[in-house]
Structure 1
Amino acid sequence: MGYDIVLTIGALSLTGIGIAAAATLKGWQGWLELKKLELASGGPRADAPTGTGGGRIEMADLKERVRKLEQIASGIDY
């Protein structure tokens, strides 16, 4: 009788962890899709005037941020 309770609790715990993992994975995939859409829509627009440096400045800023994040991730102080 004691093993039945342990098995039931174990099965319910495993089911709960599986549901939480599936929900987390679904949320992560949604977030990645959102970021892909943001990146795709952030490109040069056809109606943007040519000769403006705003897009290039923003891209340089983003590249600098990525570089700093990569340094932090690798443990390098800057």
Structure 2
Amino acid sequence: MTEPTFWLTIVATGLTALVIITQAALKGWRGWLDLRKLEIDSRRDGQAQASAPSPATPSPTARIELADLKERVRKLEAIAAGVDP
């Protein structure tokens, strides 16, 4: 048990394990920091949008799309109820 190669192997294995664990922890830390940065940016964007004035009336395109969606919902409800649309 006093062979130098044995202890050198143990030390090298421990050092390798330490490097792997450190790299994994560093990658996790960077990921967490990126996540926090995205959260802060989304809050900042949300505040900027909240302070911007909203349009009083929706655009004609949005109104047409909304009417189309309402019509589709009516047809689907009629099909579900068994009534011919």
Please tell me the TM-score bracket, short chain as reference: 0.5 to 0.7
**Aligned residue pairs, count:** 53
What residue identity is the alignment partner of 1:3? I
Aligned-pair RMSD on alpha carbons?
2.2
Give unmatched runs, 5+ long, in structure 1. 58-78
Greater Cα radius of gyration, structure 1 or 2: 2
**Counterpart of 1:26?**
33
**Percent of aligned positions with the same letter in both sequences?**
4
**Counterpart of 2:58?**
53
Tell me, yes or no, if structure 1 residue 11 matches structure 2 residue 18. Answer: yes
CA distance in 2, matches of 1:44, 1:35: 14
Q: Which has the higher contact order (CA 8 A, sep 6+)?
A: 1
Give unmatched runs, 5+ long, in structure 2. 1-7, 63-85
Q: 1:38 aligns with which of 35, 39, 45?
A: 45
Runs (4+) off by over 4 Å:
none
Structure richer in helix, relative to its length: 2
Question: What do the CA deviations read for 1:1-52 (whole angstroms, capped 9, x no partner)?
Answer: 211111000001111111111111111100111111111111253xx47633
